[in-house]
Amino acid sequence: QVQLQESGPGLVKSSETLSLTCTVSGGSISTYYWSWIRQAPGKGLEWIAYIYDSGSTNYNPSLKSRVTISVDTSKKQFSLKLSSVTAADTAVYYCARGVGGYYDSSGFSYYYYMDVWGKGTTVTVSS
Amino acid sequence: QSVLTQPPSASGTPGQRVTISCSGRSTNIGSNTVNWYQQLPGTAPKLLIYTNNQRPSGVPDRFSGSKSGTSASLAISGLQSEDEADYYCSTWDDSLNGPVVFGGGTKLTVL
């Protein structure tokens, strides 16, 4: 079955750029949305961004100015870059596979859910 | 401040039925479908319910979801100790908040 594995530095210095990669195994990277989600210590889930296999992207408005998401279909990997990090960016970062589309023929109702998640990787921002 | 509103906590005894609510707006729950994720302690979230009321393969039928207007609910019947976890609702949001939004999460305690 499809598995996702996050990788990247566990410690990033304040004001620098956080870079993470998610590797997809056991399945295709095509026709899915690939997302990054994070969870600060003791807090809830925060969606960061997704990229479709075609390269189209969508970002959380609150993070958009600092986030870049990219995909390398040949390597079955997608990546996250978050610039100018601060202590508030300390979190567990998850990658996930998303499924989405129009829910009914009206064209007004949309569905989007994340059915496969990585185990997460902890990133700490140090001063 | 999360876009979707959930109670921070819920509890029940083994065998009981528990419901967790998720409140939103016309641009999110009112227009689009709702999902629920279960996060057991120290683990990654897991998809529990998708498109309002569908269960992925392997999820027991003790878990059910529903949606009405701008609110959604997750019901757990025959509560078991292993259901103790955090539960998050999520949906698509057509406004500037979106597109993917979560509730703040509900910590379910099995007494």
The predicted-structure confidence for B65-76, as pLDDT tens digits, reads as follows: 999 999 999 999
HEC secondary structure over A37-84: EEECCCCCEEEEEEEECCCCEEECCCCHHHEEEEEECCCCEEEEEECC
pLDDT at A106 over 80: no
Percent of chain A with pLDDT over 90: 87
Residue A119's Cβ-side half-sphere holds a number of Cα atoms within 13 Å equal to 4
Cα torsion A126, B3, B6, B7 to 10°: value is 70
Please report the pLDDT score of residue A124 as a whole number: 98
Strand partners, A110: A102
Please report the pLDDT score of residue A50 as a whole number: 96
The 10 Å Cβ neighbour count of residue A105 is: 7
Mean pLDDT score, B38-54: 97
pLDDT at A26 over 90: yes
**Residues 54..113 of A with a Cβ closer than 8 Å to B: which?**
58, 60-61, 94, 99-100, 103, 108-113
Residue B76's Cβ-side half-sphere holds a number of Cα atoms within 13 Å equal to 27
Please report the pLDDT score of residue B97 as a whole number: 78
Q: Which residue of B has its CA nearest to A120?
A: B44
